[in-house]
Amino acid sequence: MTSEFDFTGKVVLITGGTRGLGRAMALGFADAGADVIVASRKTEACEATAAELRQLGVRAEGIACHVGEWDQVDALAAKAWDTFGKIDVLINNAGMSPLAPSSVETSEALFDKVIAVNLKGAFRLTALIGSKMAAGEGGSIIQISSTGALSPHPAFATYAGAKAALNAVSVAFSKEYAPKVRVNVISAGSFLTDIAEHWTDKEAMAQRAALKRIGDPREIVGTALYLASEMASYTTGANIRVDGGVA
């Protein structure tokens, strides 16, 4: 690990941090020396992931939180900050992308849940942590969005809309909390996470990418480390695609 990507002494909070892209980033930051807080809905998963991270020689905590619930997000922000005394990097990774048969068949409950998990929670946590960063030593906030927001499809229109809104509010946050806080977006493509087990068209999805394959979760880590580091000190309000070159 080069000095530019040495996160020793830094504290990273990752939502959706117990599986998929979140877990890969948690391990990546721990490998880089960071202390890590992972949040997800299940207490057991949080505790297990935190224990795994501690084996890498860093401090780690798991905090159960449903990011779609405003009060739980408030509690997460307070506990995470109080536990370590600061947050240097916030990664809003938690999300959900259920498919709907059609727009007219999208229920109000499904619509509200998708918006809450993908937009509302990230908005609230960014506001809470970002404002404290801005009042203190600064920091980096990374929103995990989706190329689905850039190329929407009827089957996931609500998800695409939520992520597109996340992209928009991230630009607003990058202006509100500047110059101490940088806020950037990673638009992720298709990755072989546990969700991929339910995909029936993996080969077709792979062929849509210029690299002709689906990504390994570890392949998002480099971009996250870069955006969190001082190597990206002049980068804010940006949206970086990590999707294998999907047209």
**Catalytic sites, residue numbers:** 159
Residue with tokens 């996931």: 156
Rounded Cα–Cα distance for residues 106 and 113 (Å):
11
In contact, 31 and 60? CB cutoff 8 Å: no
Rounded Cα–Cα distance for residues 172 and 141 (Å):
13
Q: Which residues pair with 61 in a beta bridge?
A: 37
Q: Cβ of 239: how many Cβ atoms within 10 Å?
A: 15
Strand order of the sheet with strand 239-242?
60-64, 35-40, 11-15, 89-92, 139-146, 181-188, 239-242
Q: Cβ of 129: how many Cβ atoms within 10 Å?
A: 25
β-pairing verdict for 181-188 and 239-242 = parallel
What are the Cα distances from residue 208, in Å, to 28, 126, 203? 28, 33, 9
